[in-house]
Amino acid sequence: MPLNRRALLGGLTAAGLAGPALAEGPPLIISGRYRQGGCAVGLTSPRARVWLGDELVGQASVTGYFFLGFDRDAGPAARVTVETELGTSSQDMTIAPGDFDVQRIGGLPPDQVTPTDPALLERIRAEAALKAAGYASRIDADFFRDGFDMPLKAWRLSARFGGQRILNGVPQTPHFGSDLAAPKGSAILAPADGVVTLAAPAMHFEGGLTMIDHGQGLVTVYLHQSRIDVATGQAVTRGQTLGAVGMTGRATGPHLCWRMRWRGRNLDPMLLVGLQSPYGR
C-alpha cells in the first residue's frame, strides 16, 4: 500500500504525537561518518524504500542494508527515512563541514588544463560519456556492507579529497579524489567486492581508469594506472588485483587517485575505509 510520507510526517508533527504508524515503523540503525564527503551504512527491513531528505534514493537490499553519501558540499542537516507497508522511521543527522585545502599545481601541459584542439575536445566529450555510463550503473547488491579496505598495501596521502584546485594558475573544480602516492607498478587491490563498470586503458585526463559498482549506486574509481588487469563487466572480489599504479593522464608523479561517487555526490573514499556497518564485521 503506497503511503504519502509527507502527509504522514506532517500530520504527526502537527499533532505533536508519535502515532501508531511511527511506533510500528521499520527498524532503522545507521553507522556513519557524518561530515561533508562522508557516508553511512544503514540496516532496516529488506527492500524498505529509503529517502535522503526529500529524495527517494532507492531500496534497502534483500538483507536490509543501504548506503548513504554526503556530498563534498552537503548542507549541515540531513534526514534519512525508511518506509515499508508498516509505516516510516526517520533519523536526523548533523553533517560537519569538511576541512578542504587549496591545491596549486603548475607546469602541467596546457592540453591537460585548458584544451582547445577540436579533435581533443571531441575525445574528452566521448570519454565523459563513458564515465557517465560507468557512474550510472546500479547493480542490486550490498557489497559495501562488510566495509572497505585500502586499495594499496603501502602509500602516502599526497593530496586530500575536496581541495580547491588551481592548475597552471587556473581555478578548476575541486579535487574529488584522495591521491595515494606509491611506486609505479604497485598492485591496486579491490577494496570490496563489486562489478567493473568501466576499464579503459588510455583516457585523456585519467589515463588508465577503472570504475567499480559496489551496489546501490556506490561507485569507486581508480585513475592513472600503468596497467589494467580487469575488463568491463567483470565481477571482482575483495583483495583482487585491479591493475597497477602509474602516472598516465594528468599526473605529475606515480600515484593512485582514488575516487568515490554515490548518486551524483562526490565522496571521500578514505572516510569509507574501516567504517563498521551495523552488525557488520
Residue closer to Zn ion (CB basis): 90 or 158:
158
Determine, following the binding rule CB under 5 A, whether residue 134 of this chain makes contact with Zn ion: no
Q: What are the angstrom distances between the C-alpha of 137 and each of 11, 51, 125?
A: 37, 19, 19
Long-range contacts, 183-186 (Cβ 8 Å, 24+) = 183/245, 183/254, 184/226, 184/244, 184/245, 184/246, 184/247, 184/254, 185/226, 185/227, 185/244, 185/245, 185/246, 186/152, 186/153, 186/154, 186/155, 186/244, 186/245, 186/256
- Minimum distance of Zn ion from residue 202's CB (angstroms): 18
Q: Hey, what's the cell of 111? A: 592540453
DSSP state of 43: E
Strand locations in 106-169, DSSP E? 156-159, 164-167
To Zn ion, the closest distance from the beta carbon of 102 in angstroms equals 15
| Shortest spacing between CB 176 and Zn ion, in angstroms | 8
Cell of 226: 600503468
Tell me: does residue 203 bind Zn ion (CB under 5 A). Answer: no
**Of these, 179, 206, 213, 268, which contacts Zn ion (CB under 5 A)?**
179
Applying CB under 5 A, does 268 fall inside the site for Zn ion?
no
Which range of residues in 31-39, 184-192, 241-249, 255-263 is near Zn ion by CB under 5 A?
255-263
The CB-of-117 to Zn ion minimum distance in angstroms stands at 24
CB of 4 to Zn ion, least distance (A): 44
Grid cell, residue 98, equals: 569538511
Q: Are 45 and 29 in contact (CB under 8 A)?
A: no
- Does residue number 221 form part of the binding site for Zn ion (CB under 5 A)? no
- Given 87, 151, 174, 177, the residue binding Zn ion (CB under 5 A): 177
Q: Which of 179, 268 has the CB closer to Zn ion? A: 179
Taking the mean position of all CA atoms in its chain, how far away is CA 33?
A: 13
**Binding segment for Zn ion among 61-69, 118-126, 135-143, 176-184 (CB under 5 A)?**
176-184
Q: In this complex, which beta carbon is closest to Zn ion, that of residue 257 or of residue 270?
A: 257
- Give the one residue of 95, 192, 230, 257 binding Zn ion; rule: CB under 5 A: 257
User: Of the ranges 71-79, 114-122, 171-179, 264-272, which one interacts with Zn ion (CB under 5 A)?
Assistant: 171-179
Residue nearest to Zn ion (CB): 257
Q: How far apart are CA 216 and CA 221, in angstroms?
A: 15
8 A C-beta contact, residue 214 and residue 143: yes
Rule CB under 5 A: which residues touch Zn ion?
A: 177, 179, 257
